[in-house]
Amino acid sequence: MKLWQNITQEKKLRVGHQPIIHRTKWAESFFLTMKSDPLMKGAFKCPNNLTIATVNTYGKKLLFEKSLSYLGVDYVVLQEPFKGSWKMILKLKFILNYLKSGSCKTDYFLYCDARDAILRDDPQKIVDIFENIGCDLLFGSTMYKGGWMCMPEVLEWTKTVARKRGRYLNAGVFIGRPDFIQEVLEEVCKYIIKKSLTVEQYTKLGRGIRNTKLCKALPEYPKGSTDQDILRFLHPKFYPKMDIDYRNQIVYRN
């Protein structure tokens, strides 16, 4: 057994050993450390059975891309024109369009947010961990409680399947089989409306678990909400093929 597979249960939830870091301050810190080690430059490659992708509409290379480039790992940037303010749900539409186009030829597809995540280790480890877990789509986890005030019944269900209570689906990093990801994202699209919330609108409505402003603003919730809220709502429908990295084996968020 490899050394990285021997990490104790207690340490698995802490930042440090994960191949992906998905929190700005930690990602930036680890990236600086990685860049200070010349042995890390060009040290890895993307496995033949994996496509790594991100969504970037900024017109410049962001943190996740910088980490991949430094490590020598190939990746795909998904970009499409859009009007108005950025909506978090758009990234899933871009991914769905990419998968439907037939451009993804690999067994597995890995997505990471561009601005606040880095790859810091061999991507083969991600594939190995995913295969060992045995689901078809795995999301990172977070303690963030956004959206639960509007779907308490789903929250109660989530508590029954969570192997670590207090950790929930995070939409910023996920890996899965392309066909199943496409199936899930096609279901997600049923909840996208013309007036889906922008990042600013969602934040303004408040994030507290007892704050019902979001529910009042979206009477057909989760229609019109964020990608993460919709995926949390759909988790029971696709479980256990769709699951969560409760033990922070692949990605650290918090």
Assigned CATH for 3-252: 3.90.550
- Do residues 20 and 250 make contact, with C-beta atoms less than 8 angstroms apart? yes
Answer yes or no: are the C-beta atoms of 48 and 123 closer than 8 Å.
no
Give the pLDDT of residue 8: 39
Percent of the chain with pLDDT over 90: 82
- Please provide the average confidence, as pLDDT, over all residues in the chain: 91
CA end-to-end span of the chain, whole Å?
A: 27
Segments making up each domain of the chain, as ranges: 3-252
With residue 159 as reference, give the H or E element that holds it: helix 152-161
Q: How far is Cα 188 from Cα 182, in angstroms, rounded to an integer?
A: 10
Instruction: Give the contacts of 179 (CB within 8 A, at least 6 positions apart).
Output: none
Model pLDDT for residues 91-141, shown as the tens digit of each residue:
999 999 999 999 999 999 999 999 999 999 999 999 999 999 999 999 999
pLDDT higher for 49 or 254?
49
**DSSP per position, 167-233:** -EEEEEEEEE-HHHHHHHHHHHGGG--TTPPPHHHHHHT---TT--HHHHH-TTTTTTS-HHHHHHH
Residue 91 buriedness (CB in 10 A; 0-12 / 13-18 / 19+): buried
Q: What is the pLDDT of residues 5-40, one digit of tens each?
A: 433 344 455 776 899 999 999 999 999 999 999 999
Asked if residue 58 has pLDDT above 80, the reply is yes
pLDDT reading at 149 higher than 60? yes
DSSP 8-class letter at 138: E
